[in-house]
């Protein structure tokens, strides 16, 4: 478990994804989950790691679901991370995103008239408040990402 008194880099040009999203109170539950899995925390806190895109569920998203257990914490986080930097424009043009979780994918659908991006037909991506950092980009989402069942994929 990572201590809550982690120091954050003050210079925004060298801040990690963790540094940039940590001050946001709407992500406190997600940050609690993240700091419970040290390897994943280190990846998002590193200024030397590969470029990542992370989809951060807001606190309200956890209210309708059971929080990840210690046993599946890593898998939960891996399914919310894509090993590539995806700008809002690039994200709009994608159909599927390969995650860090066993090469599982997230389905992407862009609704042109509503100007909205949905993941797995459930989670809306807030592209208007994307947070950029030295090691990637983070987007808030309004639902937890859950792997689609085979019936939903048909």
Give domain limits for the chain: 12-145
pLDDT at 154 > cutoff 60: no
Q: Is the pTM of this model over 0.75?
A: yes
Digit-coded pLDDT (tens) for 114-135: 899 999 999 999 999 999 999 9
Which residue's structure tokens are 């066993």? 102
Instruction: Walk across the sheet containing 116-119 and list its strands.
Output: 81-82, 52-57, 136-141, 123-133, 116-119, 105-111, 96-98
Structure tokens at 107: 């389905």
Biggest CA pair distance of the chain: 47
Is 140's pLDDT higher than 50?
yes
> What are the tens digits of pLDDT across the range 14-34?
899 999 999 999 999 999 999
Q: Considering the domain delimited by 12-145, tell me its CATH architecture.
A: Roll (2.30)
Q: Percent of the chain scored above 70 by pLDDT?
A: 86
pLDDT digits (tens, 9 = 90+) for 29-60: 999 999 999 999 999 999 987 899 999 999 99
Residue 8 has pLDDT above 70, yes or no: no
CB 110 within 8 A of CB 125: no
* Cβ burial 8-36 (10 Å sphere, 16+ → b, else e): ebeeeeebbbbbbbbebebbebbbebbbb
Q: Are 84 and 53 in contact (CB under 8 A)?
A: yes
Cβ partners under 8 Å of residue 34, min gap 6: 18, 40, 41, 44, 77
Looking at every residue in the chain, the average pLDDT score rounds to 88
CA distances from residue 87 to 15, 69, 129, 139 in whole angstroms, order as listed? 18, 31, 12, 10
DSSP run (H or E) holding 45: helix 38-45
């Amino acid at each position: 478990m990572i201590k809550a008194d982690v120091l954050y880099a003050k210079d925004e040009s060298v801040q990690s994804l963790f540094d940039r999203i940590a001050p946001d109170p709407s992500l406190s539950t997600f940050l609690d989950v993240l700091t419970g899995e040290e390897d994943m925390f280190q990846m998002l806190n590193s200024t030397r790691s590969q470029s990542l895109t992370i989809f951060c569920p807001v606190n309200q998203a956890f209210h309708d679901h059971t929080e990840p257990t210690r046993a599946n914490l890593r898998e939960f986080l891996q399914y919310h991370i894509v090993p590539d930097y995806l700008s809002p424009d690039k994200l709009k043009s994608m159909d599927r995103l390969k995650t860090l979780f066993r090469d599982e994918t997230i389905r992407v659908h862009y609704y042109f008239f509503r100007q909205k991006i949905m993941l797995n037909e459930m989670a809306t991506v807030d592209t208007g408040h994307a947070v950029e950092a030295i090691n990637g980009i983070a987007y808030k989402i309004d639902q937890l990402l859950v792997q689609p069942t085979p019936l939903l994929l048909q």
